[in-house]
Amino acid sequence: MKKLILTALLAAGVLNTASAADDALKTAIGATTRTPANVARDVYRHPYETLSFFGIKPTMTVVELSPGSGWYTEILAPYLRAQGKYIAAGAPIDPVKKTGMGFKNKLESNLAIYDKVAIGVFSPPSNYSIAPANSADMVLTFRNVHNWIGKSDADLVAVFQQMYTVLKPGGVLGVVEHRLPEKATQDATASTGYVKESYVIGIAEKAGFKLAGKSDVNANPKDKADHPNGVWALPPTYANKDVDRASYQAIGESDRMTLKFVKPTNN
């Protein structure tokens, strides 16, 4: 009987811990410190569902690759600040060359949230200082794979191997990317911004990852991925200016794959 009671209490503790982590994620997403324009895009980016699918926890060490202007930084930095670690890995910050200064200024704009953000270097194809090997619980990348496609598949495999190296055995790689229909012809340089899901999976597996799951949380069946000027014809970029703007607005943001990979524990 005592054993059964203890088991029940332990189970309740696990549930309470999971509930607290879930509440913390909702709090980070709902924070008033987020930029209003970024919040408006939640309807397309589904941050709660996406990060929950990847299995994020507030105690993790999480690397975000190419964080851009910091859309996900506004969520991940406060979420991981107290118990975990958030590493933003992008182009080297260089005041002389003016690279990465916008992101640096963002961090300095609110030290109460961003004071513990660690900076890594991720600048394919040759400049990497992301994090120590086997140190991260999770690596995340949002709509970046098309930017890393080089002269050959081997170049992209090498990029994914950098992610593989920094992850602990059992660690998770979460990928969100603009999705090209499988029946379409893959542009060798992904100049349209769209990439086949099967191609991304194949590259990740060549780097050593195992596919752990797919989600359609960021799917958009209205997007046929056949626009002049590629994915950038859609909001928020509207690369075609006023040409067919209403139709692109009706489509919304791109159809996206959401893939979860795991670094095997036996390596």
Statement: residue 1 has pLDDT above 60: no
Instruction: For tokens 């309470």, name the residue.
Output: 16
Distance of CA 150 to the CA centre of its chain: 20
36 — phi, psi (to 5°)?
Answer: -55, -40
CB-CB neighbours of 208 under 10 Å: 17
Architecture of domain 2-262: 3-Layer(aba) Sandwich (3.40)
Alpha helices per DSSP H over 55-140? 73-80, 101-109, 111-114
CA distance 50 to 217: 7
Tokens of 177: 């990317």
Contact 256, 218 (CB under 8 A): yes
At residue 13, the pLDDT reads 56
Extents of the domains making up the chain: 2-262
Angle between helices 2-29 and 73-80 (to 10 degrees): 140
Instruction: For tokens 């593989």, name the residue.
Output: 164
The per-residue pLDDT of the chain, averaged, comes to: 92
Confidence label for 3 from pLDDT (cuts 50, 70 and 90) = very low
Statement: residue 253 has pLDDT above 80: yes
At residue 5, the pLDDT reads 39
123 three-state secondary structure: strand
Residues in the chain: 267
CA atoms within 13 A on the CB side of 238: 12
Contact 164, 209 (CB under 8 A): yes
CA distance 93 to 56: 27
Q: Which residues contact 46 (CB under 8 A, 6 or more apart)?
A: 217, 218
CA distance 251 to 234: 8
CA distance 71 to 86: 14
The Cα-based distances of 179 to 93, 111, 175 in angstroms read 30, 36, 11
Statement: residue 6 has pLDDT above 60: no
Taking only the tens place, the pLDDT of each residue in 67-112 is 999 999 999 999 999 999 999 999 888 777 777 889 999 999 999 9
**Bond before 125 cis per omega within 30 degrees:** yes
Question: Average pLDDT, stretch 179-191?
Answer: 94
Local structure of residue 179 (DSSP, 8 states): E
Tokens of 52: 């929950």
Q: Which residues contact 84 (CB under 8 A, 6 or more apart)?
A: 57, 58, 59, 60, 61, 62
Of all residues in the chain, the percent with pLDDT exceeding 70 is 94
